[in-house]
């Protein structure tokens, strides 16, 4: 019995551990978890493994090539000598022949084709790894936007709940006034209707928040929920415009290097190739075509292969590669223009929100005073509930603008940093 109780407790503790949710999160930890969890990151090791296999296969080009060949044939006519020599019998050749041989070819010089191919494979690996880095940056951007969406929705939820608490408080006092005959009953109905409207707004916010939390969990592999606290990061020092660190710059440069490698590879097709060969065989006839018996044979020597004229195909292919390189330059220039536009948008967004925040603090102070005065007037029956709600909603909206703008300022600064290509930041998390 004790053993059963012990096992039951152990099972419950294990389940509790597995279902435990993080109490708080930072943006840095979410980005780190996303890079570890998301499938794209695992491509780095797979691409490197492919590259190693390619390098090994290409290196095998220096190894001797072994081919086992066999043949059995019959021919309708054979070579004969149309002469008669006294006392000499000229043997006739058999019309069937058989041969099996081991052919060995050893490359001596290939004009540099193998080394050039290895250089191309290495450049391909660099391009693929850079593309993975770009995908990881997009993943980081997705985590950033999702994280800040949750922060904004949580802030909105908090302020809506505060507004509902305030209206509940006023509603209690209005009902007391109605009981005393000092306030008209319609004032309570107005406040009840406003509470229902705020509840609808709250439902919408919570559905959007839950969707954003689910998206964050899918990206990071975490198990957060609505109770998980998210820390607001703060960014202050923004880099200068000449400090770009986007991986796309490296990608464009690597693509141009690859085109240079292709041009070199194309040119090598006109280079001579030297190799040694050896044929070890057994058959009938052997090397002596007049022999009618099965015999072993050996042949060895050197071979030259040289395409001395290709009708300018190589030159045209080089021209095509040069044009592709120019296209890469134009793509880079277009990308740079779009990035500068995007970066300027982020910069203007930062300046706009900073100016809005300066005004938000003053507006909140004024709206708080006005709303407090309206609350007193409502209790005294001087104004209606509708007039009170006008001022209270203005105060709620001012509070909401202040809270959301604080978050949006940090998001705008983060967007600026990410657009510049910075994946690590100095923040106040």
**What is the pLDDT at residue 425?**
62
**What is the pLDDT at residue 370?**
95
Return the bridge partners of 298, or none.
280
Residue 232 has pLDDT above 70, yes or no: yes
**What is the pLDDT at residue 325?**
96
Digit-coded pLDDT (tens) for 191-210: 999 999 999 999 999 999 99
Contact present, 38 and 219 (Cβ < 8 Å): yes
Highest mean pLDDT among 191-195, 234-238, 240-244 belongs to: 191-195
- Rg over CA atoms, the chain: 41
Single out the residue of 214, 240, 236 nearest to residue 225, CA to CA.
Answer: 214
Residue 336 has pLDDT above 60, yes or no: yes
Residue whose pair of structure tokens reads 């250089």 in the numeric block: 119
Tell me 181's DSSP state: T
Residue whose pair of structure tokens reads 């019309």 in the numeric block: 95
Residue with more model confidence, 422 or 10? 422
Per the prediction, the chain carries an average pLDDT of 89
**What is the pLDDT at residue 380?**
82
Contact present, 246 and 339 (Cβ < 8 Å): yes
Single out the residue of 264, 251, 152 nearest to residue 209, CA to CA.
Answer: 152
Single out the residue of 142, 145, 150, 146 nearest to residue 209, CA to CA.
Answer: 150
**What is the pLDDT at residue 21?**
60
Digit-coded pLDDT (tens) for 207-225: 999 999 999 999 999 999 9
**What is the pLDDT at residue 20?**
54
Q: Which CATH number fits domain 23-62+111-271+312-420: 1.20.1600.10, 3.40.50.2300, 1.10.3720.10, 3.40.366.10?
A: 1.20.1600.10
Range from 24-28, 169-173, 199-203 carrying the lowest mean pLDDT: 169-173
């Amino acid at each position: 019995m004790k053993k059963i109780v012990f096992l039951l407790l152990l099972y419950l503790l294990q389940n509790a551990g597995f279902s435990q949710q993080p109490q708080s999160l930072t943006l840095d930890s979410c980005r780190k978890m996303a890079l570890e969890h998301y499938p794209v990151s695992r491509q780095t090791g797979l691409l490197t493994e492919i590259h190693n296999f390619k390098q090994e296969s290409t290196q095998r080009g220096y190894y001797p090539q072994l081919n086992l060949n066999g043949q059995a044939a019959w021919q309708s006519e054979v070579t004969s000598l149309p002469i008669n020599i006294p006392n000499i019998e000229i043997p006739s050749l058999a019309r069937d022949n058989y041969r099996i041989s081991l052919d060995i070819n050893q490359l001596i010089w290939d004009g540099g084709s193998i080394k050039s191919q290895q250089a191309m494979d290495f450049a391909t690996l660099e391009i693929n790894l850079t593309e993975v880095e770009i995908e990881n940056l997009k993943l980081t951007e997705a985590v950033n936007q999702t994280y800040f969406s949750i922060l904004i929705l949580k802030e909105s939820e908090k302020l809506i709940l505060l507004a509902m608490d305030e209206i509940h408080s006023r509603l209690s006092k209005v009902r007391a006034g109605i009981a005393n005959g000092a306030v008209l009953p319609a004032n309570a109905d107005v406040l009840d209707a406003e509470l229902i409207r705020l509840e609808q707004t709250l439902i919408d916010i919570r559905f959007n928040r839950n969707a954003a939390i689910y998206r964050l969990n899918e990206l990071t592999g975490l198990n957060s929920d609505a109770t998980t606290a998210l820390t607001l990061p703060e960014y202050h020092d923004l880099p200068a415009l000449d400090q770009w660190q986007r991986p796309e710059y490296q990608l464009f440069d690597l693509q141009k290097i690859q085109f240079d490698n292709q041009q070199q590879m194309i040119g090598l097709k006109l280079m001579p190739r030297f190799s040694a060969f050896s044929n070890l065989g057994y058959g009938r006839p052997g090397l002596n075509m007049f022999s009618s018996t099965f015999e072993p044979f050996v042949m060895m020597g050197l071979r030259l292969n040289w395409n001395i004229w290709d009708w300018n195909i190589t030159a045209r292919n080089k021209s095509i590669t040069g044009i592709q390189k120019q296209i890469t330059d134009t793509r880079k220039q277009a990308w740079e223009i779009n990035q500068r536009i995007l970066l300027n948008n982020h910069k203007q967004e930062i300046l706009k929100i900073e100016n809005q925040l300066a005004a938000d603090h003053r507006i909140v102070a004024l709206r708080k005073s006005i709303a407090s005065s309206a609350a007193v007037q409502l209790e005294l029956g001087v104004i209606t509930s509708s007039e009170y709600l006008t001022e209270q909603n203005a105060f709620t909206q001012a509070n909401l603008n202040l809270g959301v703008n604080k978050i949006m300022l940090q998001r705008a600064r983060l967007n600026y940093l990410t657009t510049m290509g910075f994946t690590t930041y100095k923040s106040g998390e």
